[in-house]
Structure 1
């Protein structure tokens, strides 16, 4: 059993590329911990540094209370499973699973019995004498997991082990893997870019972007109480509505969210009011998930300051529900534009960026040199996305009024971080 601590760990490659930026993280003994983030965010680099396959540029890695920066992979007693199982093609399933025990020089009869027992737990007992080339992708991954677990490592590392499998098999295997590693009580670090895998498997999880740790907590904590707008959007499916607003404190009314053509009002007795009042006159981002927008039946009353409206222009059928897209005239923002690490200052005069070149091609004026944009994001399509039951879906062209569950609305500042306290 092992606990893992990353104390200011950083990875900088030759040429100055920083893949991981001062990550501080604790993974508890026996925990199934998931590193989640988009491609290139540094999650696999962290895994490889824990394994000893990648050198740490600065900071310390602690394994079970001791600094492990200079330990070899063998000395760290870790086992790793990659995206592809990488089995020995000339060895049977049993031969592959036996290999670590043969190398360690243990009793062969005892090792064979151990392999048979683990193969039964993995559902491989009927194919234990088959070669990898005759197995399906899921069976090969099970065999690779068995080979890693058989030697009873102190730490189990999994780098996107299900990403090459089809959707149905991923669903089946993620349940099996989670149950297996929990039953073994082996500390496990699991890397994935799949939000569903992370949310369904993790005891706790960390969300990374551009090598920076954005948030850490249980899946429920991070979903309900995200620290940044990027985390909120990344864990929202269907996509979260991210609406640009200006916040005004209005005596006798409450905190007014000016969304351009529409308004929402947070009452003064809302627990968030004391934190929000300091943002009077500032631009904020209102994060509203589609399931917190409820269509109002014509003629039904609604509390003032809790309603947004728009015209439906798109519908998607998802079997158990419809997703509706309504044009509301409210400027929306892209979560990816907020809170990114600032690049090092250029030594020479900056060349026009991609966005400026595209603006020129489209006949749109670029920003004036030295003039900052009013907000950190940029406009995308002015839509509201909401859910509708199959028997109650609107039609294209309908005008709809939607009640907003203000208690579940999330508010972020221009830096992309929550403007109200995050509870952990």
Structure 2
């Protein structure tokens, strides 16, 4: 019986890098909780702080109602599974799973029976006497999970245990792992960068970026009602359309989303109107998932203010559907950069040699000294495409002009800072 509370937890390394910022999070007893985010967002650091493998710089970690900041890892009753399993290579599957019971001094006969029972549940009974080097990647991960579960820990931590496996095996194992930890009733914190893994496994999930908690809730809540533009884009596959717009409240017309060459119109009776009217004249971000755009057949009527159009420039075949990219001339937004916490700039070293001083003053290369400064690039910017889905029998051709009706009830609206303009139900 363990719940986990992070109360204002931060991790700052001696170099000055802040890996986790003011983390406030509650993980309930018996919950399968997923930490999701891109590489370097702090999710593994949080896991290691919970396990006691990383010191907490500030804030309080509570484990089952008790402050755990100073607890040694061995006193936390935590079991951890890493990406590579980390099995003892000289021990068989049986020996690896038996090891924690040997250390704790369990009765050997009872321990043996327990190992055999768990190996059968994990599908390892036919290879229980084989060494790790003779097993596949999935079998090794099963053995590592078995070694962790055999101890009956109060808290189970899993750090990207499936990321090194092929896609088919990941699908199979994520179903097995979720079923196994739920049947054990053990509180589990699972780290992944894979959106599908998080959405299919989690009871609840947290999305992180740059060490900051962006959103938390059930998979359904976080997907349908994301708190930020980053979360909406990160959980969208295929990619979400993110467009820059100016919001205008116009008497008699409603709320106009000015997308430059095109526009959308929300009527005054839209439930979001009361929240949006305060953003009159301001820049907003419009999030439109591809499945909310439906191609209109030639000659079919469409309500004004609900249609976007473009010229198809690229098509992707996905078996059950086509994904189309239509140039629409609408300014796009890179959601991964919106509302991002900017790291402090490192102090510049004082130039010591004369040539260094001269280079610093000139802002470039001093004659005869060193290499030219590398050219700066503005980075990749997505084209102003409308991304939409088309069925196998109704796909457009490259170069076709298309008109797409927009399901306005399902578009998402964010402020310039990337936060949702309308309230997020939780």
TM range (shorter): over 0.9
1:130 counterpart residue number? 130
1:413 counterpart residue number? 415
Q: How far off is 1:251 after superposition? A: 0.3
- Using the alignment, how far apart are the partners of 1:265 and 1:311 within structure 2? 22
Matches within 5 A, 1:198-217: 198-217=198-217
- State yes or no: 1:239 paired with 2:258: no
1:366 counterpart residue number? none
Q: How far off is 1:40 after superposition? A: 0.2
Q: How far off is 1:303 after superposition? A: 1.0
> What is the aligned counterpart of 1:401 among 399, 403, 418?
403
Name the Cα RMSD after superposition.
1.8
2:334 counterpart residue number? 334
Q: How far off is 1:341 after superposition? A: 1.3
- Using the alignment, how far apart are the partners of 1:323 and 1:355 within structure 2? 38
**Matched residue pairs, number?**
406
Which structure 1 residue ranges, 4+ long, deviate > 6 Å from structure 2? 345-352
* 1:12/1:204 CA distance change after superposition, 3 Å: same
1:16 counterpart residue number? 16
1:250 counterpart residue number? 250
- Using the alignment, how far apart are the partners of 1:84 and 1:344 within structure 2? 34
Q: How far off is 1:347 after superposition? A: 6.3
Q: Report if aligned partners of 1:81, 1:158 keep a CA contact under 8 Å in 2.
A: yes
2:325 counterpart residue number? 325
Q: For 1:392, what is the secondary structure of its paired residue?
A: coil
1:50 counterpart residue number? 50
1:384 counterpart residue number? 386
- Using the alignment, how far apart are the partners of 2:237 and 2:381 within structure 1? 20
2:376 counterpart residue number? 357
Structure 1 unaligned regions, length at least 5:
363-377
Q: For 1:112, what is the secondary structure of its paired residue?
A: helix
Matches within 5 A, 1:134-283: 134-283=134-283
- Using the alignment, how far apart are the partners of 1:189 and 1:43 within structure 2? 10
- Using the alignment, how far apart are the partners of 2:118 and 2:60 within structure 1? 35
Q: How far off is 1:380 after superposition? A: 3.0
- Using the alignment, how far apart are the partners of 1:233 and 1:163 within structure 2? 21
1:115-157 per-residue CA deviation (whole Å, 9 max, x = no partner) reads: 0000000000111111111100000000000000000000000
- Using the alignment, how far apart are the partners of 2:345 and 2:51 within structure 1? 34
Structure 2 unaligned regions, length at least 5:
349-359, 365-372
- Using the alignment, how far apart are the partners of 1:132 and 1:36 within structure 2? 29
- Using the alignment, how far apart are the partners of 2:239 and 2:267 within structure 1? 27
Q: Report if aligned partners of 1:243, 1:285 keep a CA contact under 8 Å in 2.
A: yes
- Using the alignment, how far apart are the partners of 2:167 and 2:394 within structure 1? 30
